[in-house]
């Protein structure tokens, strides 16, 4: 089994066995086994079409596997997805924000889907992402970097224990990417992160565990400390060369 788990007593945030996703005759995922301990930051790398986003959508409970077992935060995700949804957040390259609503209205709306809206909490989130001064402006008027910061606040309205990041740097300039890293660093304590990225350097620097996916299968999954960075890079480049699944 591909495991990022070192075998210690830390509970698992993600446990998957034999995940298969079939799209007609094509297999998006082909028997993925995965274990991610709580509090870890797992970066998933791989070529286009390797199944990274398919896997992340499954972890976000936006898609069900054709076959296999999936447990998130100790709960069977296929049996009890509804009880898990309030414990998971997703930050995507798409901001998932309503352009014609203000920053505050966006957060208030998404918070209301999880329960009672706490205005003080929304204020704190706006301050966290340094958008409190623009809280009454429509999201449409924000730059890409500002939208991505607001997207972080949106993903945190339910205080998720598992945060999923799908190519979060897509479209961000270097400064905005730096700000994004800083924000993620601030909210990292006590949460498990799973990130899909094409940026090997950045993704590897941020993670505690790294995984390479190709043709819907796990090529390697290990704790970063136990991985030789240069060898990992070579393996990644060789994998990218294999093309899509």
Partner 1 sequence: MSRIENERVCAKGSGGRAPRALAQYRALLAKDVRQELRTREMLTSMGVYALLVLTIYGAALAQVGDKLQVVSFAGGLLWALVIFTSLLGLNRSFGHETESGCLEGILLAPVDRAVIFLAKATSNLLFLLAVEVVVVPLFFLFFLSGAELAATTPLIAVPLLVGTVGVAGVGTLLSTMTIETRGRDVLLAILFIPVAFPLLYACVSATTCAFLGVEGTMGTFWTSCGVALVYDVVMIAAAWGLYEFVVDA
- Which CB, 27 or 154, lies closer to partner 1? 154
Spatial neighbors of 185 by CB under 8 A, at least 6 apart, are: none
- Which CB, 59 or 212, lies closer to partner 1? 59
Judging by beta carbons within 10 Å of its beta carbon (0-12, 13-18, 19+), is residue 58 exposed, middle or buried? buried
- Which CB, 38 or 63, lies closer to partner 1? 63
Spatial neighbors of 91 by CB under 8 A, at least 6 apart, are: 148, 151, 152, 155, 163, 164, 165, 166, 168
Nearest distance, CB of residue 189 and partner 1, angstroms? 7
Nearest distance, CB of residue 237 and partner 1, angstroms? 30
Nearest distance, CB of residue 89 and partner 1, angstroms? 8
- Which CB, 53 or 197, lies closer to partner 1? 53
- Which CB, 4 or 90, lies closer to partner 1? 90
Nearest distance, CB of residue 235 and partner 1, angstroms? 32
Nearest distance, CB of residue 40 and partner 1, angstroms? 17
Q: Residues interacting with partner 1, by CB under 8 A? A: 60-64, 82-83, 85-90, 92, 94-101, 105, 109-118, 121, 124-125, 127-128, 154, 156-160, 186-187, 189-190
- Which CB, 160 or 203, lies closer to partner 1? 160
Nearest distance, CB of residue 38 and partner 1, angstroms? 14
């Amino acid at each position: 089994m591909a495991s990022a788990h070192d075998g210690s007593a830390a509970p698992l945030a993600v446990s998957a066995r034999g995940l298969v996703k079939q799209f007609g005759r094509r297999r998006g995922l082909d028997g993925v086994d995965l274990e991610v301990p709580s509090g870890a930051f797992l970066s998933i790398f791989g070529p286009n079409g390797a199944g990274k986003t398919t896997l992340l959508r499954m972890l976000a409970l936006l898609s069900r596997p054709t076959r296999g077992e999936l447990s998130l935060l100790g709960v069977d995700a296929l049996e009890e997805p509804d009880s898990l949804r309030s414990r998971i957040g997703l930050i995507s390259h798409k901001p998932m924000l309503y352009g014609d609503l203000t920053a505050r209205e966006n957060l208030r709306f998404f918070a209301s889907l999880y329960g009672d809206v706490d205005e003080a909490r929304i204020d704190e989130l706006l301050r966290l992402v340094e958008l409190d001064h623009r809280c009454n402006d429509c999201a449409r008027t924000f730059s890409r970097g500002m939208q991505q910061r607001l997207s972080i606040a949106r993903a945190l309205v339910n205080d998720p224990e598992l945060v999923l990041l799908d190519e979060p740097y897509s479209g961000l300039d270097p400064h905005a990417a730096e700000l994004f890293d800083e924000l993620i660093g601030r909210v990292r304590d006590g949460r498990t992160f799973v990130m899909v990225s094409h940026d090997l350097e950045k993704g590897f620097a941020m993670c505690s565990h790294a995984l390479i996916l190709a043709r819907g299968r796990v090529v390697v999954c290990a704790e970063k400390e136990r991985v030789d960075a240069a060898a990992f890079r070579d393996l990644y480049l060789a994998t990218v060369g294999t093309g899509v699944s």
